[in-house]
Chain A
Amino acid sequence: MTERRDDDMADLDRLFALARKRAPEPPPELVRRVGRAGVALQPAPARPGARAFWPRLLQGAGGWPGLGGMAAAGVVGLVFGLGGLIGPVAADEGAGAALSLLPGGASLEQPLLGAGDE
């Protein structure tokens, strides 16, 4: 019984070997069809001299040092810009203040700012 099973397995292995030797091959028409589809789907090669957008931009800006300089200038500009916004607000806060120059004279009040214009 065991010998018979071993024989069956040996026969099976011979059949596997035969089937590997006689492997099915794709028909020529399928090979042509798939090859054409592959060409149609293939990305276009990069054009000589054509570089990607970002590397070109970086190069135009003077490389990394140039880009660093622009970034630093931007930060400085931002600081000055914010300073310019904050300054007038602080001054405006005092625009409504008045100073009385006469003792007890509530009728004569001089504005603290802009008094020279009148």
Chain B
Amino acid sequence: MPMPRDSATDQGTASDDQLLADYAAGRGGAAAEMTARFLPLAYRLAFRMLGQAADAEDVAQEAMLRLFRQAPGWQAGRARVGTWLYRVTANLCADQGRRRRLAPLEAADGVAAPGLPAEEALTDRARVAALHAAIATLPDRQRLALVLRHLEGLGNPEIAAIMEIGVEAVESLVARGRRRLAEVLAGRRAELGYGGEDD
């Protein structure tokens, strides 16, 4: 899973709440640690929702600035930092999406798989790009629910908390999103290298 529930749990380092407290107390290095821990989360979601690196950078940076400003007033245990940041990032993406029309995804940029042979890496890149392009055709809420569930690896209750809807509504959004994606990608199975023997 790209984003553990508490990103520090498995690392033996300070918990997310403790890290924010350290930052608020002025501990040196806390800002860099927060950046390393939380910026990838905000950037991944923004990139997958908006499909443009430049927009994703703007949104991720703004989300992080809000987290820095929030840290001194953060109440430990009331909410999970990751959940809060996902929600803020999703809201910023919605704002950004309203300002700009969804642009073609740049899924191939900056996501080369290290260590893979060139041909295989190219195929993988094309597959991921095709998936992201198909995701971009989904309605906003289906796209968000599906990205959080299948690309960020979150559970439905946490997605419900992020989207401020019920768990059943999340399940419905994810199921509809999957069906629609499967339909969109069904005509490209051979191109994507899947199920070639059926075609």
Known contacts A31-B35, A35-B35; A23 and B111 CB within 8 A of each other? yes
Could you tell me if B25 and A46 are in contact, using CB atoms closer than 8 angstroms?
yes
A19 touches B34 (CB 8 A): no
Q: Are A7 and B198 in contact (CB under 8 A)?
A: yes
**In this assembly, does A2 line the interface, its C-beta being within 8 Å of a C-beta of chain B?**
no
CB-based contact A31/B36 at 8 Å = yes
Interface presence of B160 (CB below 8 A): no
Interfacial chain B residues near A51, Cβ < 8 Å: none
B interface vs A, CB < 8 Å? Answer: 2, 23-27, 30-32, 34-36, 39-40, 43-44, 47-48, 53, 56-57, 60-61, 64-65, 68-69, 72, 107, 109-113, 124-125, 127-128, 130-132, 150-151, 153, 178, 181-183, 185-186, 189, 192, 194-195, 198
| A to B CB contacts below 8 Å, 26 in the list | A7-B198, A8-B183, A8-B186, A8-B189, A11-B182, A11-B192, A11-B194, A12-B181, A16-B131, A18-B127, A19-B131, A20-B151, A22-B111, A24-B44, A24-B47, A24-B53, A24-B111, A25-B43, A25-B44, A30-B61, A31-B39, A34-B64, A37-B64, A39-B32, A42-B30, A43-B24
